[in-house]
Amino acid sequence: MENELFKQLKQEHLEVKQILSRIVSSPVDSRKNLFKELKINLLPHMEAEENAFYPVLSNKQDSYQSALEALEEHHVAKMVINEIENSAFESDTWLAKCKVLQDLLEHHIDEEESEIFELTRKTISEQQTEEIYNNFLALRNDYRGRMAA
Ligand SMILES: [Fe+2]
Ligand SMILES: [Fe+2]
């Protein structure tokens, strides 16, 4: 049976992927709102993974290196997001950067849902996975609340 943590992460990944495909295929005048929607979904997700999920994985020898790699991908994604925010939204460069972000995140999500989930099943107990899930949700909701404020 699929655990709650994986179910939640997959659902959020799906939403992020859907917003990204809308961003790269929508007319210029919807870019700003869609990008805002992306940030509201993606940033709390990454923040909560970084603080509730990856510290547990990087504490285990078997998942240490993969956790570091995933965190670097978050770091690069945030750099690209920052650059997108500093580009003119109606420019071709803005769209090109969004496509790079899409590629990057699709790769990252694929690795999380295969390698990272597999390592979690192997190295983390069901009880601890449930704790990660609860911490993840609390941190994510808290960050989202602060973004909306
Ligand atoms: Fe994720
Ligand atoms: Fe992630």
Predicted TM-score (pTM) of the model is 0.96
Per-residue pLDDT, averaged over 99-108, amounts to 98
Neighbours of 55 (CB within 10 A): 14
Given this model, what pLDDT does residue 148 score? Answer: 83
Please tell me the number of the ligand nearest to residue 136's CA: 1
Ion ligand 1 nearby residues (CB, 5 A) = 112
Mean pLDDT across the chain: 96
For residue 143, how far is its CA from the centre of ligand 2 (angstroms)? 15
- What is the CA(54)–ligand 2 centre distance, in A? 9
Q: Is the pLDDT of residue 2 over 90?
A: no
CB-CB contact of 112 with 63 (8 Å): no
Residues with CB under 5 A from ligand 2 (ion): 49
Pick among 1.10.101.10, 1.20.120.520, 3.40.50.720, 3.40.50.300: CATH of 4-148: 1.20.120.520
41 alpha carbon, closest ligand:
1
Which of 6, 5, 32 is CA-nearest to residue 19? 32
Which one-letter amino acid corresponds to residue 141? N
Ligand nearest to the CA of 57: 2
Q: Which of 53, 14, 63 is nearest to 138 (CA)?
A: 53
- pLDDT at position 149 is 79
Cβ atoms of 111 and 76 within 8 Å: the answer is no
CA atoms within 13 A on the CB side of 50: 14
Task: For 54-81, write each residue's pLDDT tens digit.
Answer: 999 999 999 999 999 999 999 999 999 9
Distance 48 CA to ligand 1 centre (A): 9
CA of 140 to the centre of ligand 1 (A): 12
Helix axes 61-85, 31-48, angle to 10 degrees: 160
Q: What is the pLDDT of residue 123?
A: 95
